Amino acid sequence: MSSGKPWIVLVGGFLGSGKTTLILAASRILAQQGLRSAVILNDQGSDLVDTHHAKMHGVLANEITGGCFCCRFSELASAIEQMRLHAPEVIFAEPVGSCTDIAATVLSPLREEFLQYRLAPFTVLVDPARAASLFNANADSNQSFLFQKQLQEADLVCMSKADLHPNAARISNVETRYLSAKTGQGVQEWLNEILSGTLTAGTKLLDIDYERYARAEAALAWLNLSLIFEPRSPLAPAPVIGPFLDRLDEALTAAKISIIHLKLFDHTPTGWLKAAICANGEEPVVEGALDASPAKSHGLLLNLRAAGDPAQVREIVEWQMQNLEGSVHSIQMECFSPEAPKPERRVLRAYLS
């Protein structure tokens, strides 16, 4: 950490694997050691829950929207340069959770572009519950394709959520670390390993069919919504987002639409709250001010990733939004399937030392 060159740390993994949570936990540890960090988030759409979440934790955050890092490489490069003005020792970057081929389209071009930075090995996070479902013989073929490709190009594979899955099965033929961003288990050890300078980034380049890749991403519905909600009488964040999330979960389940990742964020003058689920009927993971006082105005953000038809997903969300008891305005919504990935640069040269 003493060379003066900031580290760039890419943390990948399938939707809902805990990438942002790990980055925030690592940032807290680095801050305790007197080291500055920053994060660049990435999404196919706009209005990201994770960007607001990171800022609420006091982490310097930027975002690349409208496409994955590979398709917005020039923007990523500019964002990294902008971050350098704040002199962070570590810049985390989180690719879109449905993206792969990161080694060839992001890591290798970064190595060629920036000699003043150091690249950490590419970490891919794995949610044990997701792994169990996608290794199943009846797994969704599109999600399984993306998941398997992410594993194949990882320099390091880390099982996340070790507090929830302490006995998670190992992935066959893959050396796996175990982490819990919630309890801190393994996070310091992971930082020590990736920032040691002994491991090389981008050593595994994929042989990937981009037409198959495009079909797999196109099977997903991507919805981002922001709005201002003014309830009939002041409410705390919890009684706003709790029932809204529950009703949305029930409606999507009834329509046989599989939730892959749903994040709901409420920001009021009295506090903020975030709730997230990674499957239909799952108990939400909640973070923030559960004891915040009632407020007259709520800024709501919803990021929903599902396996289904975007038009149907949009209709369901619009119906639930209309059923909010109060005034809803300043609505911005987009719902779509990701376009075919078209990398700006693809460098098929591995760096083995």
Residues 209, 300 within the same domain: no
Residue 248's nearest CA partner among 236, 262, 260, 235 is 262
Does residue 322 sit within a domain?
yes
**Is the predicted pLDDT of residue 311 greater than 70, yes or no?**
yes
* Average pLDDT, integer, range 13-28: 97
Write out the H or E segment, with its range, that includes residue 260: strand 258-268
Q: Which two tokens stand for residue 204?
A: 């595994």
Q: Residue 177 has what pLDDT?
A: 93
Q: Residue 351 has what pLDDT?
A: 57
Residues 240, 297 within the same domain: yes
8 Å CB contact between 95 and 69 = yes
8 Å CB contact between 336 and 310 = yes
Does residue 233 sit within a domain?
yes
Residues 166, 256 within the same domain: no
Cβ neighbors of 222 (< 8 A, separation 6 or more) are: 44, 45, 304, 305, 310, 334, 335, 336, 337, 338
Residues comprising the chain, all counted: 353
**Helices 49-56/19-32 angle, 10° precision:** 20
Residues 192, 128 within the same domain: yes
Residues 21, 169 within the same domain: yes
Q: What is the DSSP string of 210-226?
A: HHHHHHHHHTEEEEEEE
- Specify burial of residue 180 (Cβ count, 10 A radius: 0-12, 13-18, 19+): buried
Does residue 353 sit within a domain?
no
Does residue 349 sit within a domain?
no
Residues 113, 227 within the same domain: no
Does residue 166 sit within a domain?
yes
Alpha carbon distance 88, 91 (integer Å) = 7
Residues 110, 212 within the same domain: yes
Write out the H or E segment, with its range, that includes residue 254: helix 238-254
Q: What is the per-residue pLDDT across 47-70, written as a single tens digit (0 to 9) for each?
A: 899 999 999 999 999 999 999 999
Residues 190, 239 within the same domain: no
For the chain, the domain total comes to 2
Residues 166, 272 within the same domain: no
Q: What is the per-residue pLDDT across 95-152, written as a single tens digit (0 to 9) for each?
A: 999 999 999 999 999 988 778 899 999 999 999 999 999 998 899 999 999 999 999 9
Residue 313's nearest CA partner among 303, 301, 323 is 303
Cβ neighbors of 19 (< 8 A, separation 6 or more) are: 11, 12, 13, 94, 97, 125
Write out the H or E segment, with its range, that includes residue 235: none
Does residue 193 sit within a domain?
yes
Q: Residue 33 has what pLDDT?
A: 97
User: Residue for token digits 């879109």?
Assistant: 96
* Average pLDDT, integer, range 279-305: 96
User: Which of 183, 217, 251 lies at the terminal end of a domain, its last residue?
Assistant: 217
In 3-state terms, what secondary structure has residue 202?
A: coil
* Average pLDDT, integer, range 227-237: 97
Q: Residue 175 has what pLDDT?
A: 86
- Cβ neighbours around 170 below 10 Å, total: 12
3 confidence band (pLDDT: 50, 70, 90): low
Residues 137, 122 within the same domain: yes
Q: What is the per-residue pLDDT across 144-182, written as a single tens digit (0 to 9) for each?
A: 999 999 999 999 999 999 999 988 888 878 889 999 999
Mean pLDDT estimate for the chain: 94
Q: Residue 353 has what pLDDT?
A: 45
Is pTM, for the whole model, over 0.75?
yes
Domain enclosing residue 23, as ranges: 7-217
Residues 143, 173 within the same domain: yes
- Cβ neighbours around 274 below 10 Å, total: 22
**Is the predicted pLDDT of residue 319 greater than 60, yes or no?**
yes
Residues 257, 315 within the same domain: yes
CATH number at residue 310: 3.30.70
Residue 186's nearest CA partner among 227, 150, 157, 151 is 157
User: Which of 155, 185, 217 lies at the terminal end of a domain, its last residue?
Assistant: 217
CATH number at residue 91: 3.40.50.300
Alpha carbon distance 179, 157 (integer Å) = 10
Alpha carbon distance 316, 121 (integer Å) = 41
**Is the predicted pLDDT of residue 228 greater than 90, yes or no?**
yes
183 confidence band (pLDDT: 50, 70, 90): very high
User: Which of 178, 197, 217 lies at the terminal end of a domain, its last residue?
Assistant: 217
* Average pLDDT, integer, range 25-45: 96
pLDDT over 90 percentage in the chain: 87
Q: Residue 168 has what pLDDT?
A: 85
Does residue 192 sit within a domain?
yes
Q: Residue 114 has what pLDDT?
A: 79
Does residue 1 sit within a domain?
no
* Average pLDDT, integer, range 223-229: 97
Q: Residue 171 has what pLDDT?
A: 84
